Amino acid sequence: MVTIIRNVRHALRVLARAPAFSLTAIATLALGIGAATAMFTIVNSVLLRALPFRDADRVAAVYTRYDASSGYDFPQFSLSGPEFLDYRAQTRVLEQVAAFQRGGVTFATDDAGAEPIRGFHVVATANLFSTLGVEAALGRTFRDGDDAPGAPCVVVLGHGVWLDAFGGDPSAIGRTVRLDGAPCEVVGIMPAGFAFPDASARWWRNAIVDPASFLWNQRRSHNWFAVGWRRAPRSRRRTPRRARWLPTGGRPTTTTKVTTYSCVPSWTTSSVPFGRSSRCCSAPWGSCCS
C-alpha cells in the first residue's frame, strides 16, 4: 500500500511539471475512451444483443412504400387502416400481424396526491404481445376481444411507470388510471427491460378495430405501424416464392404485393426483420434487394 501511495505522488509531481501536456494527454484519453464506449453501445444494441422477443429472427416490421417510378420518394412509411386489414386477412407470409401507433398522453392515477405523468404510450391491436411472444410479469397482456368495438379501455404498464406511479405495488392490477382523462383499467405489468417499439414507450393501451371508424376506413391516412411474426420456413432453400398481388382498393395504382424474397414494385406492403434497417425490400434473414 505504501508503494502505491509513493507511486501516485511521484506521478502527480511529474504531471505538475508539464500541466499543458498533462491536460492534453488526459483529454485525449477521455475522448478515446468515450468514443470507444459509444461505439460499443451502438454495436451491442444494433448487432450483438438479441431482441427480447420469442424467435426474434422471425419478428418483422411491416410497412408500405412507393416505388421511385411512381414519382413519390417515400421508401418506407406507415400503413393506413384498410391496408393493414387487407394485409392481415390475405398474407401467407406472416402467421400474425399486429398494428400499433404511438403518441404522447397524460397518465394519472386515482391518488389525489400523485402528480400526473406525461409520457409516450402505444395503442395496439389485441394480438401485439402474442405476436412478439412476450408475457406480463404480473397480470395479463391483451387478449382476444380487447380490440373489438365496444371493448373497455385496458392498459398494460411498463415496469418503470409501475414503480413511479404505484411504487411497485402488485395491487395496481385492476385499478383504474386515466389517460388524458379517460378511465382505463390496469390489467398487466411488463417485466423490467421490456421495450416496444423503443424505450420511450411506457404503457400500452388497446386499440379498437372498427372498419367503419375514421382510423380504419381512410386509405390516405397512414396512421398505423405494424409488426408481424413470420411463418417457419419449410426448407432452407433460398428459391423465391411466387409473388401474390393483393388488391388494396381505392386508387388505380394501388396494389399490394406480398412476397418473402423478391423486390417489390409500385405501391407495396413489405416486411423486414424488426429493429434492423432495410433499403427497399421484403427479403428475410436481414438480406436486402439491390
Q: What is the pLDDT of residue 52?
A: 60
| Closest listed residue to residue 80, CA positions, set 96, 67, 62 | 62
Q: What is 174-224 written as a DSSP string? A: T-EEEETTEEEEEEEEPPTT--SSSTTEEEEEE----TTSHHHH-TT---B
| pLDDT of 280 over the 80 cut | no
pTM of the model: 0.66
Q: Where are the domains of the chain?
A: 2-48
- Render pLDDT for 8-62 as a digit per residue (tens, 0 to 9): 787 777 778 878 877 888 888 888 898 888 887 776 655 555 566 666 777 888 8
Q: What is the pLDDT of residue 195?
A: 86
Distance CA 153, CA 90 (A): 28
Q: Which residues pair with 184 in a beta bridge?
A: 177
For residue 211, give the C-alpha cell: 372498419
Span 221-238, mean pLDDT?
Answer: 73
Average pLDDT, the chain: 76
